[in-house]
Amino acid sequence: MGHVRPATKPPAGRPAPPVFGHLAAVPVASADRRMPTDDEINAWMRAVAATADRRAFAALFRHFAPRVKGFLARGGADDALAEELAQETMVTLWRRASSFDPSRAQVSTWLYTIARNLRIDHHRRLAGGAGGTPDPWDAEQQPADAHLSPDALLHAAQRERGVQRALAELPPEQAQVLRLSFFDEHPHGRIARDLGIPLGTVKSRIRLAVTQLRRILERYEP
Amino acid sequence: MIHHHPGDELLLPLAAGRLGAGQAVVVSTHIEGCGECRARLHTLQALGGALLEDTDPVALGPGAWERTLQRLDRPAIEPPSPAPARRSHPALPGDVPWPASLRGCASSGWRWIGPGMRYARIGVPHEPTASVYLLRIGAGRSLPRHTHGGVELTQVLCGAFDDGRAVFGPGDFDAADETVHHQPVVQAGTTCVCLAYVGARMRFDGRMASMIGGWIGM
């Protein structure tokens, strides 16, 4: 089953051609698999949105579902919950693919907000809250930037692509502050412990780390 | 023109899904009306996306793909249509819209707390113990001088107040804590309505104010 991959980049503006392998192949994470490019991922999204293409969905599932599961597991979810929410995230992707706009966000960010909202919703339901949660796919900030000008939008999209690189450039301690903010259930206490700083100074460390991240991002901008 | 914004120490947990529901509704209400903060939040959500891409994949269980395929064929459980009955909420002055971030929240009507001062309790469904209020204070009136046992978040929906530190106008956001001892005074000419999250009891200087504060649970 290692053969399922688009042979060529689909032509712009057209749905991805059916160049995937056998549908029954169970998508699994594989370390030696080449990372798909942004263009490939966006083409798969278009194919899912335009023609409910299950092969494109299989490719997205193969790439993202194990990452969503890994992300949730690292954030404190047990295996069963991480598994359930990862599947639910992919089902939401299938249903809401047409609301995804690649000029506004990367698929990874969009999926992140979906998974995050599903997790919040799950915990709130456990806590006994009533219904009334906004739709998980509503990802309250999507489109977060509805009122930005096209220039600003392009800017935001470019900045987003730089985030991964900027994170790698951050001093290790600041990168750790950001990671813990996402992955720890009680980030403030954990940041204080791990960095050996008083709880009262955690907020300023967070501000500092984010400021530094934004500064690096600005350097990338034209 | 918005002059006061939530800091990254609030936006980051909001982006990470780690901010309590009570604080989240106040910060989200600010973001609704502030393009700058939407863009800042977007960057932090992109950080979530980058961490997702970076995460070591964890293989799904056997049969996960088949189960997901089966779920694709099931009709989505859509919220009951037509849209759930609109909850009633206290009227806001003029053309001030009801914040979309308060969707799903219960709200009391306006209740009197003093001359020219009313409040409405906002019930956040997923954090029922959170103290979230709307405060409506008449022109020239002031809240009693107070400090805080914990964080206090305020989003100005309309009007403006000056608490000696700065003037907070429509769209402005303020985060105060136990280090802030202030007396917000509403500016002349307009009624001020704020959405506020009170993390721990406010500590009023006067006995009367303390009594009323305790009575309404603020």
The total number of residues written for chain B in this structure: 218
User: Is B180 among the domain residues?
Assistant: yes
The pLDDT-based confidence of A151 (bands split at 50, 70, 90) is low
B136 in helix, strand or coil?
strand
Last residue of a domain, one of A120, A143, A166: A143
Question: Residue A209 belongs to what domain range?
Answer: 145-222
Label the pairing between strands B161-162 and B192-198: unpaired
User: Residues A101, A3: one domain?
Assistant: yes
> Can you list the positions of beta strands (E) in chain B?
106-107, 111-114, 117-123, 132-137, 146-148, 152-158, 161-162, 167-168, 173-176, 185-186, 192-198, 202-204
Shared-domain flag, residues A182 and A136: no
How far is C-alpha A56 from the geometric centre of its chain's CA atoms? 18
Q: What is the rounded CA–CA span in Å between residue A61 and residue A58?
A: 5
Domain membership of residue B53 (yes or no) is no
- Whether the per-residue pLDDT at A220 is higher than 50: the answer is yes
pLDDT band at A150 (very low <50, low <70, confident <90, very high): low
Instruction: Tell me the three state secondary structure of residue A187.
Output: helix
For residues A74 and A172, state if they share a domain.
no
- Where on the phi/psi map is residue A91: left (φ > 0), alpha (ψ -120 to 50), or beta? alpha
Predicted confidence at residue A43, as pLDDT, reads 96
- pLDDT reported for residue B155: 97
> Does the residue B28 lie in any domain?
no
Asked whether the beta carbons of residue B18 and residue A127 sit closer than 8 angstroms, the reply is no
Single-letter residue type at B130: A
Q: Does one domain contain both A25 and A125?
A: yes
CATH of the domain at A93: 1.10.1740.10
Query: With contact defined as beta carbons under 8 Å apart, do A206 and A179 qualify?
Result: no
How many separate domains does chain B show? 1
Q: Write down the pTM of the prediction.
A: 0.84
Q: For A46-49, which contacts have Cβ atoms below 8 Å and span 24 or more sequence positions? A: A46/A15, A46/A16, A47/A15, A47/A16, A48/A93, A48/A94, A48/A97, A49/A97, A49/A98, A49/A100
pLDDT of residue A91: 96
Which residue in A has a C-alpha nearest to residue B104's C-alpha?
A: A132
Q: Output the domain CATH number for residue A157.
A: 1.10.10.10
Judge whether B93 is closer than 8 Å to chain A, CB to CB. no
Please check the confidence at residue A5 and state whether its pLDDT lies above 60.
no
Give the angle B187-B189-B191 at the CA atoms, nearest 5°: 75
Of A43-52, A88-97, B123-132, B155-164, minimum mean pLDDT range: B123-132
Rounded average pLDDT over A4-26: 44
Q: Are residues A15 and A59 in the same domain?
A: yes
Identify whether residues A23 and A133 lie together within a single domain.
yes
In a domain, B171, yes or no: yes
Tell me which chain B residues have a C-beta less than 8 angstroms from the C-beta of A29: 57-59
Asked whether residue A170 carries a pLDDT value surpassing 90, the answer given is yes
Give me the pLDDT at residue B59, please: 96
Per-residue confidence (pLDDT) for residue A105, from 0 to 100 = 86
User: Does a structural domain hold residue B154?
Assistant: yes
Tell me, yes or no, if A145 comes closer than 8 A to chain B by beta carbon.
Answer: yes
Residue A198 has pLDDT above 60, yes or no: yes
Q: Give the pLDDT mean for A69-77.
A: 94
Q: Is residue B184 part of a domain?
A: yes
Q: Are A131 and A213 part of one and the same domain?
A: no
Last residue of a domain, one of A83, A112, A143: A143
The confidence band for A128, taking pLDDT boundaries of 50, 70 and 90, is low
| Mean of all residue pLDDT scores within chain A | 79
Q: What is the predicted pLDDT for the residue at A129?
A: 55
> What is the rounded distance in angstroms from the CA atom of residue B28 to the CA atom of residue B124?
13
Token pair for A18: 């059916």
Question: Which is more confident, B51 or A104?
Answer: B51
Same domain, A80 and A169: no
Domain annotation covers residue B192 = yes
Query: Which domain covers residue B166, as residue numbers?
Result: 107-216
Per the domain annotation, does B57 fall within a domain? no
Do A182 and B45 count as a contact with CB atoms less than 8 A apart? no
What's the rounded mean pLDDT across residues A152-179? 85
Tell which residue, B148, B109, B103, has the closest CA to residue B126: B103
Which pLDDT score is estimated for B210? 72
A43 and A65: one domain?
A: yes
Q: What is the distance in angstroms between the Cα of A5 and the nearest Cα belonging to chain B?
A: 17
Are residues A41 and A55 both part of a single domain?
Answer: yes
Mean pLDDT of the B111-123 span:
92
Same domain, A77 and A187: no
Residues of chain B numbered 99-158 and touching chain A (CB < 8 Å): 101, 103-105, 125-128
CB atoms within 10 A of CB A123: 15
Both A48 and A120 in one domain: the answer is yes
Taking an 8 Å cut-off on Cβ atoms, the answer to whether B126 and A156 are in contact is: no
* pLDDT confidence bin for A177, thresholds 50/70/90: very high
Please check whether residue B70 touches A, CB under 8 A. Answer: no
Query: Quick one: tokens of A61?
Result: 């599932």
- Residue B157's pLDDT is what? 97
The shortest CB-CB distance from B60 to any of A65, A152, A159 is to: A65
CATH code of the domain containing B185:
2.60.120.10
Residue whose C-alpha is closest to residue B180's, from B205, B144, B146: B146
Asked if A54 and A21 touch (Cβ cutoff 8 Å), the reply is no
Q: How many domains does chain A have?
A: 2
Task: Render pLDDT for A104-127 as a digit per residue (tens, 0 to 9).
Answer: 889 999 999 999 999 988 887 777
pLDDT at B198 over 80: yes
Q: Of A143, A158, A176, which residue constitutes the final position of a domain?
A: A143
pLDDT at B77: 63
Q: Of the given ranges (A147-151, A164-168, A190-194, B139-143), which has the lowest mean pLDDT?
A: A147-151
